[in-house]
Amino acid sequence: MPIIEISCYHVWREISNYIDGEIDPELRRRMEEHFKGCEHCSAVLDGTQNVLRLVGDGRTFELPAGFSDRLKKRLEKDLGG
């Protein structure tokens, strides 16, 4: 089956769904084909995936120091447990 080309613009609109696997196989095939031939779009894809790796490592937000102790005290006080 021939792969119908799609525009960069169309790729950007779907790039997030592409990363999440939320697109149908036909569109996925077309996008994969596009990334092979388009440096702009593959840079956008790589960069977006890098952002997700950076923020997904669990170290972006830490609890403020003493958070758990203050929470436990509050619960003890208010729940009378």
* Residues with Cβ within 8 Å of residue 18, at least 6 apart in sequence: 28, 31, 45
**Touching another protein, residues 39-78 (CB under 8 A):** 39-40, 43-44, 46-48, 50-57, 59-64, 67-68, 70-72, 74-75, 78
* Residues with Cβ within 8 Å of residue 52, at least 6 apart in sequence: 19
Residue of 3, 8, 51, 52 interacting with Zn ion (CB under 5 A): 8
Cβ proximity to another protein, 2 vs 25, nearer residue: 25
**Chain positions contacting Zn ion, by CB under 5 A:** 8, 38, 40-41
